[in-house]
Structure 1
Amino acid sequence: MRRDESCKIVCRKKLSQEAVKNFKEKIDDEYRVNMILDNLPVVVPRQTREGSQTPSFEHGYRVGYKLKDDKYYINNHLSFKVLYHEDQTSPDARIVGFHVIPSSIKHEYGAWDDANPTAQTCNANIKITPGSHTPQEVAPDAYVVFSYDVTFEASDIIWASRWDVYLLSSDSQIHWFSIVNSLMIVLFLSGMVAMIMMRTLYKDIANYNQLDNQDEAQEETGWKLVHGDVFRPPVHSGLLCVYVGTGVQFFGMTLVTMMFALLGFLSPANRGGLMTAMVLLWVFMGVLAGYTSSRLYKMFKGTEWKKITLKTAFMFPGIIFAVFFFLNALIWGEKSSGAVPFGTMFALFLLWFGISVPLVFVGSFLGFKQPAIEDPVKTNKIPRQIPEQAWYLQPAFAILAGGILPFGAVFIELFFILTSIWLNQFYYIFGFLFIVFIILIVTCAEITIVLCYFQLCSEDYHWWWRAYLTAGSSALYLFAYAIFYFFNKLEITKLVSGILYFGYMLIISYAFFVLTGTIGFYACFWFVRKIYASVKID
């Protein structure tokens, strides 16, 4: 500690044909080497943009590089810089930074001694600088000498703030632009909802309530005509209950996770803390899923509560786990260290079957014990015929159009999230993410209410699934953007890597569909109950 080392030789390795092939594949696929020192990840300083005061880093260093002459070179020399902060009350020091600059050097040496290796290009008196030596080519039967040097540098950064430099965002202006852009969408939709609620609905309600003539039904137009059918249970009502319950579970997990992150409980120093928190919260939120799905199912006068509870407990997690297990099997087949070990998979099974499933049944039991949610108006025995709809009110068009604005509210932040996942960047700006999440909730709710009102005005009372799918269709745009990102930002060439990317993005898109669909459903559910409860029905 605090003792510099200049060009220390680690070992010498002869490259076989298989090793050369492996290194070339890793270089083509832009593999990176990750190291940890005192729980700090190694980073490569990047050249900051002109005018920017915020330092920028890459997570890990590249295995090597390829030049235009199609020759491959390996980074076999590492220049480490360890930043430390001295304790004022003791002679001790604490590590607050871990940087590396990789280089490719073709070391020159005479007779090789494994016990005491030396080289003319590497000794205590030589300071290695990038580009000052002939690079080491990746070629069959070539001997590669691996070396390093390390310097210690005192820093004013205190130990409690050592992660700040890793997590500072130099793109805060872009985030604020995204938020302002999303707020404009919210204000636009809020204006439309306000017009509907204040100028149209309340005016209509006042007019309808003043009508006393028994022949008023012939004079009514718009959404009140379907009051006897608007609360008619939809087709596949049980499946809708399952998806709504799962969405509430996912919403609760997301909200609490973000609150923990905002309060600083999910420190980046605690590796895997975010995923652990999400899994545990998902498990314990199972009681909300069971309670919500059962209450909605009871409102639909359903009787097969055990069947609905089982679907709530197993359908969404089962689909996610099946895809995840398939992807993990591919990683196992590649003999990658990134594969989830068998012990962890078994622990996930125990959490699912031992805690989550029982909690779903507990929530379902509590939900069915509650009195049924009563509709504000009675449902007619004979369904009303729905008139022919205009082209812009057709289900497919309206649903797809409804997903554009919710996706537009989050797509800029989505770019940074995908970059952090797939391009080795840090993402810890949960303040921005929480604001965007709130904007997403409001946008999903308002666009669903607006389109639901237009649908009811056209005397189409099949709003249950339409409300869910309108907001949930934003997941289609998310997956489409993931496809665009794959072909325009990533340089993935291996089939397995491509399958992993689209597999994980499919999981994310499916979860986003459940989340946004549930938000839209409950917004429309509240809106419909509100307007029909305010109208006098004789």
Structure 2
Amino acid sequence: MLQYSHHWVVDNLPVIVCLQRDNQRRYCTSSVPLGCFGDTSDVSGTICASLVRSKNDVYLFNHYHFRVLYHQVKDSWSDEGLNRVISVLVEPRSISHPKDSPDCSSSTPLILPDRFDSDLAITYTYSVVYEPTEYKWASRWDYILDTMPESKIQWISILNSVVLVLFLSALVATILLRTLRRDIARYSQLESSSEVQEESGWKLVHGDVFRPPAWGMLLCVLLGSGSQLFLMVLVTLFFACLGFLSPANRGSLMTCALAMYACSGILAGYVSARMYKFIGGLRWKANVFLTATLCPGVVFVMFFILNLALWIVGSASATPFGTIVALLALWLCVSLPLCFVGALFGFRKHAIEVPVRTNQIPRQIPFLTTYSRPVITFFLGGLLPFSCIFIQLFFIFNTLWGNQFYFMFGLLFLVFLMLALTCSETAILLCYFQLCSEDYRWWWRAFHCGAGTSFYLFIYSIHYFVSRLEFRDATSGFLYFGYILIIVWLSFLLTGTIGYMACLWFVRKIYSVVKVD
């Protein structure tokens, strides 16, 4: 019974249980516990504080007192007013009812025995009171969200995060622009080709900077999938900011995200085809097929394995087989054909032009310093973008695993834009340092710099699992890390694509503003 709870819904609103903490702050949650365990060292400030009398006793809540708050409005069709439900609060109680005549006013708690020698008959009762309130129906969610834990401190935390990211972004942009402007001015002042050879820096690799990378098709496939995810997240959060995906519309957020992902398949095919044509690829059929199947295929297989585990243990939270078939049909009948349509438009477009020609013989790459190695740039590239989302991750994880409500979609949309900005700036900065060290293999490095955020996301999920969750069986841990791997995989594609696209724009820009012989 430990850690198990009810979740009730009345008029599309969660039923909440509230208590007063020691600091006089009201704490509310939608998790209604089944009972209490008499650990006297860990009940202060909880709903069990008034029940626990001795150690190791188990108390069962078998009476629920409901308070229904309503607001009366006038009805233009009749003289009688209409009552609209604003909030429903419940106070669970443990009452040892007499067998013959249940008494809800009894103060004797129901303590479960250590051993059950015979069947135990438990009487469940409830009581309801209706109370008027001045809250209006349009703002009834404000009443609930104001009492949720950490709802007020989130504003201060997000403000601190935004200020930090703005400061770091301005610092990175200032350093990069000043250094780059100085390089361009120096290269423009060179008059003879002999002087050019004496210089060192990113201009010397102009004949190799657009040389196609190894595993080019895989890179194009990942870029197409990442672009699809970027459009899905952008549009979904935009609609959430407008209020179409509020907590009052249960399931609307996931429905919108899935629909947008399927419709964004046309962008995945287009971007992948454009990038594949850019690097001179010839196996366009394989490229389009992998773009349409690799990312959603990995997610679908992982989700099916996790759902299979739920079926095996007989969990009620397992996704029905019909829903899985519907998701599979959405993928194969909508997303996959749109991906081929987008690829058709992409291959018909002219190839992306570059400002310099590629030499036939590759230039020798000098010895790499420690800070310019791929592993180091991978970790450095993800650190700054992660700093702008880790606070939001705490609230998002509480929503996913702590049965809380997430409602600050406007701030989440702002944080997402800040994430894209910092991913772009960090990837550009590291790409610039790489080119200055005369290493022209920036293609995969740019993708990895942005994708490094997913590594820190995985580390944070481990920290959250250890410090915040109390799973007591292997299945729960397996499900947690299974879903985390799906999130990390999608984050890897999303942030990696942002970093690559920013570096592609940057590289084309800097080599187009200097004179190359």
Which TM-score applies when normalising by structure 1? 0.88
The code of the aligned residue for 1:88 comes to K
Confirm whether residue 38 of structure 1 aligns to residue 6 of structure 2: no
- Alpha-carbon spacing, 1:312–1:262, altered in 2? closer, same or farther (3 Å): same
Alpha-carbon offset, residue 97 of structure 1:
1.0
Alpha-carbon offset, residue 523 of structure 1:
1.0
Could you tell me which residue of structure 1 aligns to residue 157 of structure 2?
A: 177
The code of the aligned residue for 2:71 comes to H
Confirm whether residue 188 of structure 1 aligns to residue 168 of structure 2: yes
RMSD: 1.7
Contact in 2 for aligned 1:190/1:446 (Cα 8 Å): no
Alpha-carbon offset, residue 49 of structure 1:
7.0
Contact in 2 for aligned 1:242/1:312 (Cα 8 Å): yes
Confirm whether residue 407 of structure 1 aligns to residue 386 of structure 2: yes
Q: 2: CA distance between counterparts of 1:51 and 1:222?
A: 63
The code of the aligned residue for 1:180 comes to N
Confirm whether residue 152 of structure 1 aligns to residue 125 of structure 2: no
Could you tell me which residue of structure 2 aligns to residue 98 of structure 1?
A: 88
Q: Deviations over 1:131-175 (max 9, x none)?
A: x22223165232211111111111112222212222336544443
The code of the aligned residue for 1:97 comes to S
For residue 193 of structure 2, give the secondary structure of its aligned residue in structure 1. coil
Structure 2 unaligned residues grouped into runs of 5+: 40-54
The code of the aligned residue for 1:66 comes to F
For residue 380 of structure 2, give the secondary structure of its aligned residue in structure 1. helix
Alpha-carbon offset, residue 267 of structure 1:
2.6
Q: 2: CA distance between counterparts of 1:60 and 1:207?
A: 65
* Structural mapping, 1:304-315, within 5 Å: 304-315=283-294
Alpha-carbon offset, residue 246 of structure 1:
0.7
* Further displaced range: 42-51 or 247-256: 42-51
Could you tell me which residue of structure 1 aligns to residue 140 of structure 2?
A: 162
Contact in 2 for aligned 1:33/1:63 (Cα 8 Å): yes
Alpha-carbon offset, residue 379 of structure 1:
0.7
Q: 1: CA distance between counterparts of 2:145 and 2:340?
A: 41
The code of the aligned residue for 2:253 comes to L
Q: 1: CA distance between counterparts of 2:360 and 2:155?
A: 53
Q: 2: CA distance between counterparts of 1:437 and 1:319?
A: 24
Confirm whether residue 85 of structure 1 aligns to residue 71 of structure 2: yes
The code of the aligned residue for 1:278 comes to A
* Structural mapping, 1:408-487, within 5 Å: 408-487=387-466
2:215 to 223, 230, 236: 236
Q: 2: CA distance between counterparts of 1:259 and 1:74?
A: 45
For residue 144 of structure 1, give the secondary structure of its aligned residue in structure 2. coil
Alpha-carbon offset, residue 255 of structure 1:
0.6
1:375 to 354, 368, 381: 354
Alpha-carbon offset, residue 515 of structure 1:
1.0
Q: 1: CA distance between counterparts of 2:20 and 2:402?
A: 17
Alpha-carbon offset, residue 182 of structure 1:
4.1
The code of the aligned residue for 2:64 comes to L
Q: Deviations over 1:102-140 (max 9, x none)?
A: 112221123xxxxxxx32x24xxx4x6xxx222231652
Confirm whether residue 358 of structure 1 aligns to residue 337 of structure 2: yes
Alpha-carbon offset, residue 422 of structure 1:
0.9
Alpha-carbon offset, residue 47 of structure 1:
2.2
* Further displaced range: 137-146 or 316-325: 137-146
The code of the aligned residue for 2:225 comes to T
Confirm whether residue 301 of structure 1 aligns to residue 276 of structure 2: no
How many residue pairs align between the two structures?
493
Contact in 2 for aligned 1:234/1:464 (Cα 8 Å): yes
Could you tell me which residue of structure 2 aligns to residue 280 of structure 1?
A: 259
For residue 403 of structure 1, give the secondary structure of its aligned residue in structure 2. helix
Alpha-carbon offset, residue 386 of structure 1:
0.7
For residue 143 of structure 1, give the secondary structure of its aligned residue in structure 2. coil
Which TM-score applies when normalising by structure 2? 0.92
Could you tell me which residue of structure 2 aligns to residue 108 of structure 1?
A: 98
Q: 2: CA distance between counterparts of 1:531 and 1:196?
A: 12
The code of the aligned residue for 1:525 comes to L
Could you tell me which residue of structure 1 aligns to residue 30 of structure 2?
A: 59
For residue 356 of structure 1, give the secondary structure of its aligned residue in structure 2. helix
Contact in 1 for aligned 2:165/2:418 (Cα 8 Å): no
Q: Deviations over 1:199-237 (max 9, x none)?
A: 322232233233232323322211111111111111111
* Structural mapping, 1:217-228, within 5 Å: 217-228=196-207
Contact in 2 for aligned 1:182/1:410 (Cα 8 Å): no
The code of the aligned residue for 1:159 comes to W
For residue 157 of structure 1, give the secondary structure of its aligned residue in structure 2. coil
For residue 317 of structure 1, give the secondary structure of its aligned residue in structure 2. helix
Could you tell me which residue of structure 2 aligns to residue 24 of structure 1?
A: none
Alpha-carbon offset, residue 48 of structure 1:
5.5
Q: Deviations over 1:387-406 (max 9, x none)?
A: 11111111111211211111
For residue 225 of structure 2, give the secondary structure of its aligned residue in structure 1. helix
Contact in 1 for aligned 2:190/2:196 (Cα 8 Å): no
- Alpha-carbon spacing, 1:324–1:49, altered in 2? closer, same or farther (3 Å): farther
2:58 to 55, 72, 75: 72
Alpha-carbon offset, residue 70 of structure 1:
3.2
Q: 1: CA distance between counterparts of 2:316 and 2:388?
A: 36
The code of the aligned residue for 1:376 comes to P
Contact in 2 for aligned 1:186/1:442 (Cα 8 Å): no
* Further displaced range: 160-169 or 59-68: 160-169
Could you tell me which residue of structure 2 aligns to residue 6 of structure 1?
A: none
